[in-house]
Amino acid sequence: MTIWVITEFLINIIDVSILLYFAHNILSQSKASHKKATIAVIVQSAINTILNHYYGIGSFIGFLLMYLSTGIVYHIIWGWNLVKTYIVSIVGLLIMFIGEIASMALMLLSNKSSPYIYFHFNAIRIIAAVFAKILSFALFYANRKRFKFIDKISETRLYQIGFIIGFNVIISFTTFWFYKNISIVKDHKADFIFITSLTSIIFSLSVVEVINRISIQIEREAKWKVREKEYLAQKIYISGIEDMLKQLRAQRHDFNHHIGCIYGLLCMGKTEEAKIYISKLAGELSSFNNIISVDNPIITSVLNVKLRKAHDEHIKTSLDISLQKKICCDPLYLSIILGNLLDNAIEACSKIPEEERKLSIKMFTKQGNLIIKIVNSRDKTLHISKAKLYENYTSKEDKANHGLGLYNIRKVVEGLNGFMKIQVKETEFEVDIAIPLDDSKSAPMIYKNFIAG
């Protein structure tokens, strides 16, 4: 008996590991902590083994308790939203049911054995279990990107999905119940097993496809919201660049007047007054000098608006831009990246004393990649969790309206096959981005190492 308990525990470890892989892939943006993962797998596997031993394999009550404990364990260890954890877990379990039913049906039809043996410890059950886990993992791996937006689905839709999947789970357990009580079918047992299994699998796959389509629709809606937001931002940027051009034309018109004033002051020997006049004039023109040297109109407009905002916040800025005239990058995406990065940087600087406010902007091309490097001062008393960096993190109270910055940037960069790295230092916040200018390529590993340095 002991050997079977150990075997059951090992099978449960595989089960829990596969489900954890699926859940972590959807609910977490950071890499999994090996220590946390090990604790979660061991604890939940032990719970599952005890419940299987007490209630028996294939028990609905046992499954329900396993499901409830899984959500609680994941919530405690990773801090994931409990409702979303349960929804993602049930989707994962649904996929695993498909693997279990398919494996059991194939084994039953191939060796003509009684389904009863699959609910007790024996070698055939172990073989079927291993095959089911391999099939389940293959399904998870093949669909690992299809369910990414489950954690972005609204709460109302989550409950609707939960209801549909819950109904599907009942059907799956009904299938297991028929397997367990196949003796009630006197004739054509093989046909009954085949039809029951096929029906359950088709229904389960249909539910999975519905969830997938909902996720795709959510992703599309999110992208359109971003595009709508950035379209409005574009109007602001264009208005800003028009204002800048008007000021430039006015300054050029007054150029001769300024030269005449300076010349007159020097002729009268008023050197100090001339210096003050020149210094004041240089201050008015300084905010335009770097922008004029940028050939890309989108970058020019974004920087113009954001640097003016930084100037109003008394932030000391440094600009180092060396780009080719033509950059093969979608202007909309470029404005999303730059606009959100600079908004975040300016917001962070505005929360610290004026003498500490600094913002550095570097953009250049290297090895066929567009490089963006933004470094800003930050409040060193504000703790920023690494786990939250790539999620909808914000220090603002209005998270619903202001929590999209880093998340949108990461999604856009990934959509362009780029690479993004964030570093939180004691007094600085740094974002490094590499975007391949050739759409068919990804940011090369050599360049990842470059920006890492």
Superfamily of domain 293-452: Histidine kinase-like ATPase, C-terminal domain (3.30.565.10)
Q: What is the band of 349 on the pLDDT scale with cuts at 50, 70, 90?
A: very high
Task: State how far the Cα of 236 lies from the Cα of 219, in Å rounded to an integer.
Answer: 26
Of 273, 340, 351, 344, residue with least CA distance to 314: 351
How confident is the prediction for the chain on average, in pLDDT?
Answer: 75
Instruction: Give pTM, 2 decimals.
Output: 0.46
pLDDT of res. 402: 38
Task: State how far the Cα of 111 lies from the Cα of 305, in Å rounded to an integer.
Answer: 73
Which H or E run includes 265? helix 255-267
Q: What is the band of 268 on the pLDDT scale with cuts at 50, 70, 90?
A: confident
Burial class (CB in 10 A: 0-12, 13-18, 19+), 444: middle
pLDDT of res. 264: 84
- Asked if residue 146 has pLDDT above 70, the reply is no
* 323: CB partners within 8 A, 6+ apart: 294, 295, 296, 299, 363, 364, 365, 370
Residue 372 structure tokens: 């963006």
Greater pLDDT, 37 or 95: 37
Mean pLDDT (whole number) for 286-308:
68
Ranges of each domain in the chain: 2-225, 254-291, 293-452
Q: What is the band of 118 on the pLDDT scale with cuts at 50, 70, 90?
A: low
| Degrees to nearest 5, angle at CA 436 with 433 and 442 | 95
Greater pLDDT, 431 or 295: 431
Q: What is the band of 345 on the pLDDT scale with cuts at 50, 70, 90?
A: very high
pLDDT tens digits for 11-25?
Answer: 889 888 888 888 888
* 116: CB partners within 8 A, 6+ apart: 180, 182
Task: State how far the Cα of 178 lies from the Cα of 196, in Å rounded to an integer.
Answer: 8
Cβ distance 341 to 360 under 8 Å?
A: no
Most confident of the ranges 101-105, 197-201, 331-335: 331-335
CA dihedral for 11, 13, 14, 15, sign (positive or negative) = positive
pLDDT tens digits for 35-89?
Answer: 888 999 999 999 988 988 888 776 778 888 988 999 899 888 888 888 888 888 8
Task: State how far the Cα of 276 lies from the Cα of 297, in Å rounded to an integer.
Answer: 34
pLDDT tens digits for 195-244?
Answer: 666 776 777 677 767 777 777 777 777 778 777 766 766 676 676 667 66
